[in-house]
Amino acid sequence: MNMYQIDTQIQLNGKFYNVAANIPADPTTTILYVEDPSGNVTEYGPGTPIVRTSVGVYYMLFVPSGPGEWTYQWQGTGAVIATSPATKFFVKASDLIAA
């Protein structure tokens, strides 16, 4: 599990494939779900800062707002229907900076 300091911008990566052809492919709609340590889930979809870097490759820059274990998961719909495994990361509280 990756570990970051609080208030550090991180990159959440996602990849999508056409399973039948075994090649990268773009979903019609790409959604990113992020769960904070309290269990609140935020959905990022069209109109949000999700960036497509090449066919089937996406990322979003994200700044976790508090310490604890975070989880994110990508979902594609339409042309590519797929959900990534849940990915967890840990945000460490600062000894000097209040959360």
Cα 84 from Cα 63, distance rounded (Å): 21
Task: Identify which of 66, 32, 33, 71 has the alpha carbon closest to the alpha carbon of residue 52.
Answer: 32
> In percent, how much of the chain has pLDDT > 90?
80
What pLDDT, on a 0 to 100 scale, did the predictor assign at position 62?
Answer: 97
Q: What is the pLDDT along the chain (99 residues), one digit of tens a residue?
A: 899 998 899 999 999 999 888 899 999 999 999 999 999 999 999 989 999 999 999 999 999 989 999 999 999 999 999 999 999 999 998 877 665
Count up the domains in the chain and report the number: 1
Task: Report if residue 10 sits inside a domain.
Answer: yes
Give the residue numbers spanning the domain of 88. Answer: 2-92
CATH value at residue 60: 2.60.40.10
What pLDDT, on a 0 to 100 scale, did the predictor assign at position 1?
Answer: 86
**Pair 1, 51: CB distance under 8 Å:** no
- The whole model's pTM is what? 0.91
Task: Report if residue 99 sits inside a domain.
Answer: no
Task: Report if residue 97 sits inside a domain.
Answer: no
Amino acid code (one letter) for 72: Y
Task: Report if residue 72 sits inside a domain.
Answer: yes
